[in-house]
Amino acid sequence: MTAGAIAMMVVAMVVLWGGLAAAIVNIVRFKGPEPGESMRDL
């Protein structure tokens, strides 16, 4: 593999894994209303 291909692979991995980490942090930080607290008309 060339240096350019390795650099592109590293950039893609950082974007993908960084997005996954950001999504997990966002889910953990913002927990929506508990099911008992939400008002649902069913």
Q: What's the pLDDT at 35?
A: 65
Q: What six digits make up the tokens of 34?
A: 């508990």
Q: Which residue has the tokens 């894994």?
A: 17
pLDDT of 28 higher than 80: yes
Q: What's the pLDDT at 38?
A: 64
Kindly report each contact of residues 22-26 with a partner whose C-beta sits within 8 Å and lies 24 or more positions away, as own/partner.
none
pTM of the complete model beyond 0.85: no
CA-based angle 16:7:2, to the nearest 5?
135
HEC string of 1-32 equals CCHHHHHHHHHHHHHHHHHHHHHHHHHHHCCC
Q: What six digits make up the tokens of 28?
A: 């953990």
Q: Place 42 in a pLDDT band, splitting at 50, 70 and 90.
A: low
